[in-house]
Amino acid sequence: MPLPRILARCLVFARFGRGSLRLRLVAALTFLAAASAHANPAAPAAGWHARLTEIRAALLPLDRPLPPPEPGDWRAEDDESPLPFERLSQRERPNTQRVLYLQAVGTLSPPQEAVLRRVHTYLAAWYWLSVRRLPDLPDSAVSAKWRVGRQWHAPTVSYRLLRERLPADGVALLAFTATDLTLGQGWNFVYGLAMPRYRVGIWSLHRFGDPAAGTMLLRRALVTAIHETGHMLGLSHCDRAACVMNGANHLGELDATPLAPCADDLASFLWVAPADAVQWATQLAGLLRVDGLVGDAERLRAVAERVRQANLGLPLWFPDLSWTVPKHVVPAAAVQVGVAASLEPPPDSDQTDRDRTSATDWTGVAGLVAVLALAPVVLGVLAVRKRRRLRAGLREVGGGSQPS
């Protein structure tokens, strides 16, 4: 039974129930305790944080170390400081946005459309979100001012085109295109880009190969889409172990990136998008096996087995899957698969930060309702005591000896 309905029944019984005063008092106290827990989002968040800390510790032995970087690799050229789970989990905010929106921009071939339909399925399974696709946008939606030769300037497209298209109930908006992307200013290309501050991102299929040539393009698309969505939800690049959040400057690095997180980033993924770790890994392993990505499937199967053996599945007290989404944790940054570039908004922007929204503080309301629930019970107890004292007094007044 949902917690709000339990609260309502306790309140009604405490106020109007026909049970004994003791039962009514118990109902009122139950209401007070439950309302206090429900009014404080930190209560389930603290419990979930502790569970994810245990999951992270249990999975650390499965982490695969990264090889030394070669010249031209992302780790050889990038000095970004990773954001570990402990820091990410300190920056949460209550939020009920549970829809990830996808947006196609430009013309896509039928094989590319088929790949993107599979990406849609995987994103829903990975993030336990409702994934919806917005109506496609034509090439003409990208202004000539946002183009660099035959490429699109990814930061400008994200800011000018996508930022205003994020629906109010959307946790993020991820666009995809078959057109090559660039950051400009000497960059040859970029596989994808995300703007965590505005919860929008874009990635391209342009350099991933022929969609009809096997599963390689699908795998590259999955790594990029999951990676960019992670950035939009607050995760940073990872250099702790082999992980889907590893950066990649070229296809060799991208192909070496596993379709699985390291132990620390698994905790981060489940923090920003809560899910049962066993069911999460088992479902994704099944999807990967269907698509012939057996190696990635085995790694996630091992994750599920390790969490199951440690008895760290979804706890019974877990309330729902919508109580937390991360704050903006990478200030004014655009993070992409290969690069971390600082991108300030255009000077004429008057956009207010969507991430400043906050949940209603229900603590005072719960306290007031609890007082209203307890008041009649306390008054009833006092009335009973008063009647008992009156009866005792009457017995004393009429308690003389019988006449002889």
- Residues marked active site are found at 228
Look up tokens 């099944």; give the residue: 286
Residues 6+ apart with CB under 8 A from 223: 244, 254, 257, 259
Separation in Å, CA 235 to CA 68, 130, 386 = 23, 20, 63
Specify the amino acid at residue 67: P
Number of C-beta neighbours around residue 236 at 10 A: 24
Q: Report which DSSP code applies to 139.
A: G
Whether 338 and 249 have beta carbons less than 8 Å apart is answered as: yes
Quick one: DSSP state of residue 191? S
Distance between CA 280 and CA 226 in Å, rounded? 14
Instruction: Report DSSP letters for 235-268, one per residue.
Output: -----SSS-TT---SSHHHHHHS-SS--HHHHHH
Strand spans (E) along 129-245? 130-133, 147-148, 151-153, 170-177, 181-182, 192-195, 200-204
What's the rounded Cα separation, in Å, for the pair 249 and 156?
A: 21
Do 142 and 154 form a contact (C-beta atoms < 8 A)?
Answer: no
204-224 burial, b at 16+ Cβ within 10 Å, e below that, comes to: bbbebeebeeeeebbbbbbbb
Q: Which of 318, 321, 288 is nearest to 302 (CA)?
A: 288
